[in-house]
Structure 1
Amino acid sequence: MVLMGYLYQVIYIAIFVTTLYALIEALRTPAEAYTAMDKQTKTIWVAILGVGTGLSLLAALGTGGFLTFLSLVAALIFILDVRPAVRGISRGGGNGPYGPW
Structure 2
Amino acid sequence: MLSAGFGSAMWFLGEWLPRLLCVFALLALLDAATTREDAFRATDKQTKRFWMTVLSLAALVTALPSLSLLGGGWATLAGILGPLWFICALASLVATIVYYVDVRATLKQIRGRRSWPRRGPGRGNGPYGPFNGRR
TM-score with structure 2 setting the length: 0.62
Is residue 22 from structure 1 mapped to residue 22 from structure 2 by the alignment?
Answer: no
Which ranges of 4 or more aligned residues in structure 1 deviate by more than 6 Å?
none
- What CA distance in whole angstroms lies between the structure 1 residues aligned with 2:58 and 2:30? 12
Tell me which residue corresponds to 1:84. Answer: 105
Residue 45 of structure 1 aligns with an amino acid whose one-letter code is W
What percent identity do the matched residue pairs reach?
31
Q: Which runs of 5+ in 2 are unaligned?
A: 1-5, 69-77, 124-129, 131-135
- What CA distance in whole angstroms lies between the structure 1 residues aligned with 2:108 and 2:41? 12
- What CA distance in whole angstroms lies between the structure 2 residues aligned with 1:60 and 1:19? 14
After TM superposition, give the deviation of residue 2 of structure 1 in Å. 5.5
Deviations 1:17-76 (A, max 9, x none): 111111111101111011101110000000000111111111333436221121111000
Is residue 48 from structure 1 mapped to residue 76 from structure 2 by the alignment?
Answer: no
Q: Which runs of 5+ in 1 are unaligned?
A: none
Say what the alpha-carbon RMSD is for the aligned residues: 2.6
Is the partner of 1:29 in helix, strand or coil? coil
Task: Give the number of the structure with larger relative contact order, counting CA–CA contacts within 8 Å between residues 6 or more apart.
Answer: 1
- What CA distance in whole angstroms lies between the structure 2 residues aligned with 1:73 and 1:91? 25
Across the two proteins, how many residue pairs are aligned to each other? 97
Larger radius of gyration: 2
- What CA distance in whole angstroms lies between the structure 1 residues aligned with 2:45 and 2:25? 19
- What CA distance in whole angstroms lies between the structure 2 residues aligned with 1:56 and 1:7? 12
CA contact (8 A) 1:30 1:90 kept: no
